[in-house]
C-alpha cells in the first residue's frame, strides 16, 4: 500500500483551487482576498484517523471481519482551544503484544455531551475508529494499540445513566473532539501506556508513559496561560487524567503529585463558576472534580473549600443528579466530620469538649441514616444476586479464594463498585461514632454501649457484604457484562481487582472485624498485587487512591 503523505490541513476551497492555504482562523486569507466563502477546515481527529485511501479501507475491513464499509462522522464542535499543531505518531518500531479484538462494522460516532450513555453499537464504532486508524502494515508507535486497549478494557462503556459518576465516562466525547496534539490526548496516551505497562512483560511501555506524561505536562502549562483554554472541559479532564496516571504508577513520589493535581482541578472548577452548570458536559466535569475533591480532602483531613454559588458544591439542581452522584452528595460532609473527629479524639478528654464530641457523633449518625435511605431507593437491577454459599474456607485462610457465607454477583463491576463505596462510607461513619463514644467514656457520663454495639454490628455487616462480592470482581467467568462487551479477560479481571483495592483495604483495617477475616482480606489484596505485578508498597498506594473510578472513598 502506498503512503499518501502528510494530510493537508488547509480549507476545502484552497484544496479545490490547488493553492496553498494560510490556515488563518476563522476564515483563511486566500478566501478573503478572492471574495469567496471559506468552507472551513477539516477536523484534526479525522486527519489522524482517516483511511489513507479506499484500498486501505477495504483491506482493513476485510482483515477485521467487517462485511461492509462505513463513512466517518464529524466530531462535535471543539471546546475553546488554541491553535494546536498536528503531531504525527512516532514510529519507534515498538510493537504491542496485546490481543486484537473483534471489530464490528461502524463509523466514527461522536457522543454529544448532553445525551445519555452510548449504546453498544456506538461504543464499538468508536473503538473501530481507534483500532483501524493506522493500517496494520505500517509500524506503529506503542500508544496506537495501548489507547484502544485502554478504552475497551478500562473505560468500559456503555454504562447505565444512573451509574455514571466519574471522569472516565466523560473521556470518550471529549477525546473525540479534542485535537491530537492537545493535553487531553497526550494525557490519555500516558495513562493508557501506564495501565498497559503494568502487564507482565510490558514494562517497556512504562518508559514511553513517562516520556508522554512529560509532554502532556508541558502542553498543559502552555494551555494554562490562556484564560479561555485553561477553563475548558478538556483542560480540567486532562488534569484529572494526570491524577489517574500518578495513581497507576503508584510510588511514594506520586502521593504529593496526585494531591496537587486534584487541587489544581478544584481551583479551575471554582474559577469556572456557575456558568459551567449551563452546559451538560461542563456540569458533568464539575461532578467528577467534586468526587475527587472529597476523596482528597478526607485523606488529608483537609476541610472542603467553599464553592462560589448559592448551593455550594451541591451545584445547581439536586433533582438532576443520578443515583451515583446522589451518593457523593450524601457524603459531602464526611471530610469535615473526619477532620473534626480526628482533631478531637487525638487529644485528652476534657468536659468542655463533650458538646463537640456529641455534635460530631450526631452528624455521623445523620450521614449514616442518609446513606441507608439512599441504598433503599436503588432500582432492583442494582441489587446483588446470591449464586452460592460457602460453608468454610480452605487453609491457610490468607490464600482462600472465597470467604464463608453467600457469594454475590451484580449486573456489572461498575454497579458493584458504587455499592461498595456506599459500604465504605457507612464503615467510615460507624468508625467515627465508635471513636467519639470511646473518647466520651473517659468522662463516665455517657453510657452508650448500645450505640457502640450497633456500630460494631453495622461494620461487620458491611465487611461481610464486601467479602461476598470479591470473587465476582476477580473472576471473568462471573462477569457477563464484560464478556458481552468483548473485554479482554485479564483486563476485565484487572479492572475488577483495582476497583476492589479500596474496599478491601478499608475492610481489612476495621479494628472490630475478626482477625481471621482480616487475614483473608489482606490475602486478597496480596493476590491482586502479585497477579498484576504490583509491590506491596504499590498496593498500599493504590488503596489510598480511588483507582479507575471516582466515588467517595476514605482511608
**C-alpha torsion sign, points 462, 468, 474, 478:** negative
Cell of 196: 498497559
Domain ranges of the chain: 1-34, 46-80+103-314, 343-543
Rounded CA separation 372/243 (Å): 31
Among the listed residues 49, 60, 52, the one whose alpha carbon sits nearest the alpha carbon of residue 86: 49
Q: How far is residue 334's CA from residue 102's CA, in Å, rounded to a whole number?
A: 44
Output the pLDDT for position 544.
52
Cα 164 to Cα 424: distance, rounded to the nearest angstrom: 19
SS3 227: coil
Question: Cα(308)–Cα(17) distance, rounded to whole angstroms?
Answer: 52
Cα Rg for the chain, rounded, in angstroms? Answer: 25
Q: Helix (H, G, I), strand (E, B), or coil: what is residue 529?
A: helix
How far apart (Å, rounded) are the C-alpha atoms in residues 524 and 517?
A: 11
Contact 156, 485 (CB under 8 A): yes
Peptide bond into 158 cis (omega under 30): yes
Percent helix, strand, coil in the chain, to 5, is 60, 0, 40
For residue 42, what is the DSSP state? -
Output the pLDDT for position 533.
Answer: 56
DSSP letters for 10-73: S-HHHHHHT------SSS-HHHHHHTPPP-----HHHHHS--SSHHHHHHHHHHHT-SS-----
In whole angstroms, give the CA distance from residue 145 to residue 201: 16
pTM metric for this prediction: 0.62
Positive or negative torsion for Cα 334, 337, 342, 345:
negative
- Neighbouring CB atoms inside 10 A of 392's CB total 9
Q: Which pLDDT belongs to residue 97?
A: 34
Phi and psi dihedrals of 408, rounded to 5? -105, 145
List of residues 6+ apart from 215 with CB closer than 8 A = 186
Spell out the per-residue pLDDT of the chain, length 555, in tens: 333 444 566 888 888 777 888 877 767 888 888 888 888 766 433 333 333 334 333 433 444 344 333 333 332 333 333 332 323 333 333 333 333 333 233 222 333 333 444 555 565 566 556 555 555 554 567 777 788 877 776 675 445 555 555 677 788 888 888 888 999 999 999 988 887 886 667 778 888 888 999 999 999 999 999 989 999 999 999 998 888 888 777 655 556 777 788 888 999 999 998 888 888 889 888 888 888 887 777 666 677 788 887 778 877 666 667 787 788 788 788 878 888 898 899 899 998 999 999 999 999 999 999 999 999 988 888 889 999 999 988 889 988 999 999 999 998 888 898 899 899 889 989 999 999 999 998 887 777 889 999 999 999 999 999 999 999 998 988 988 877 777 777 777 877 887 888 889 889 989 899 999 999 999 998 888 777 655 555 555 555 544 333 333 333
State the Cα–Cα distance between residues 544 and 535, nearest whole angstrom. Answer: 14
Residue 133 C-alpha cell reads as 486508524
Q: What is the full DSSP assignment across 146-176?
A: HHHHHIIIII-----GGG--SSGGGHHHHHH
Cβ 279 vs Cβ 113: under 8 Å: yes
How far is the C-alpha of 502 from the C-alpha of 473, rounded, in Å?
A: 13
What pLDDT is attached to residue 105? 31
Backbone angles phi, psi at 389, to 5 degrees: -125, 135
Amino acid at each position: 500500500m502506498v503512503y499518501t503523505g502528510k494530510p493537508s490541513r488547509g480549507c476545502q476551497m484552497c484544496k479545490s483551487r490547488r493553492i496553498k492555504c494560510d490556515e488563518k482562523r476563522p476564515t483563511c486569507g486566500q478566501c478573503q482576498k478572492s471574495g469567496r466563502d471559506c468552507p472551513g477546515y477539516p477536523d484534526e481527529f479525522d486527519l489522524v484517523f482517516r483511511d489513507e485511501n479506499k484500498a486501505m479501507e477495504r483491506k482493513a475491513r476485510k482483515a477485521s471481519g467487517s462485511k461492509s464499509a462505513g463513512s466517518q462522522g464529524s466530531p462535535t464542535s471543539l471546546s475553546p482551544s488554541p491553535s494546536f499543531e498536528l503531531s504525527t505518531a512516532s514510529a519507534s518500531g515498538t510493537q504491542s503484544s496485546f490481543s486484537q479484538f473483534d471489530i464490528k462494522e461502524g463509523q466514527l460516532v461522536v457522543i454529544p455531551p448532553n445525551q445519555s450513555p452510548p449504546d453498544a453499537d456506538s461504543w464499538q464504532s468508536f473503538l473501530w475508529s481507534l483500532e483501524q486508524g493506522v493500517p496494520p502494515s505500517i509500524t506503529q508507535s506503542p500508544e496506537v494499540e495501548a489507547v484502544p486497549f485502554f478504552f475497551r478494557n478500562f473505560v468500559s462503556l456503555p454504562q447505565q445513566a444512573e451509574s455514571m459518576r466519574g471522569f472516565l465516562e466523560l473521556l470518550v466525547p471529549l477525546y473525540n473532539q479534542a485535537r491530537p496534539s492537545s493535553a487531553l490526548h497526550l494525557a490519555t496516551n500516558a495513562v493508557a501506556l501506564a495501565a498497559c505497562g503494568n502487564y507482565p512483560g510490558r514494562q517497556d511501555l512504562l518508559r514511553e508513559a513517562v516520556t508522554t506524561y512529560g509532554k502532556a505536562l508541558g502542553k498543559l502549562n502552555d494551555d494554562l496561560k490562556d484564560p479561555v483554554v485553561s477553563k475548558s472541559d478538556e483542560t480540567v479532564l486532562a488534569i484529572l487524567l494526570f491524577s489517574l496516571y500518578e495513581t497507576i504508577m503508584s510510588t511514594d513520589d506520586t502521593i504529593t503529585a496526585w494531591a496537587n493535581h486534584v487541587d489544581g482541578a478544584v481551583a479551575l472548577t471554582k474559577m469556572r463558576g456557575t456558568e459551567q452548570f449551563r452546559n451538560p458536559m461542563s456540569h458533568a466535569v464539575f461532578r467528577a472534580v467534586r468526587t475527587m475533591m472529597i476523596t482528597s480532602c478526607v485523606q488529608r483531613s483537609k476541610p472542603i473549600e467553599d464553592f462560589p454559588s448559592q448551593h455550594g458544591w451541591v451545584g445547581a439542581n439536586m433533582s438532576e443528579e443520578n443515583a451515583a452522584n446522589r451518593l457523593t452528595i450524601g457524603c459531602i460532609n464526611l471530610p469535615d466530620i473526619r477532620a473534626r473527629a480526628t482533631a478531637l479524639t487525638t487529644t485528652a478528654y476534657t468536659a468542655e469538649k463533650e458538646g463537640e464530641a456529641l455534635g460530631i457523633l450526631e452528624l455521623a449518625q445523620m450521614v449514616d441514616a442518609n446513606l441507608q435511605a439512599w441504598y433503599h431507593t436503588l432500582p432492583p437491577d442494582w441489587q446483588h444476586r446470591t449464586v452460592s454459599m460457602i460453608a468454610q474456607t480452605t487453609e491457610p485462610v490468607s490464600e482462600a479464594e472465597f470467604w464463608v457465607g453467600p457469594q454475590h454477583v451484580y449486573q456489572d463491576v461498575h454497579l458493584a463498585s458504587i455499592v461498595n463505596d456506599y459500604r465504605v462510607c457507612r464503615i467510615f461513619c460507624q468508625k467515627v461514632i465508635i471513636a467519639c463514644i470511646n473518647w466520651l467514656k473517659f468522662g463516665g457520663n455517657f453510657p452508650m454501649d448500645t450505640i457502640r454495639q450497633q456500630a460494631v454490628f453495622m461494620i461487620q455487616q458491611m465487611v461481610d457484604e464486601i467479602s461476598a462480592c470479591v470473587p465476582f470482581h476477580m473472576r471473568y467467568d462471573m462477569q457477563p457484562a464484560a464478556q458481552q462487551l468483548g473485554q479482554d479477560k485479564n483486563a476485565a479481571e484487572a479492572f475488577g481487582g483495582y476497583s476492589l483495592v479500596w474496599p478491601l483495604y478499608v475492610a481489612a483495617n476495621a479494628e472490630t472485624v475478626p482477625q481471621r477475616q482480616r487475614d483473608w482480606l489482606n490475602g486478597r489484596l496480596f493476590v491482586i498485587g502479585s497477579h498484576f505485578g504490583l509491590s506491596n508498597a504499590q498496593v498500599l498506594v493504590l488503596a489510598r487512591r480511588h483507582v479507575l473510578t471516582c466515588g467517595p472513598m476514605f482511608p
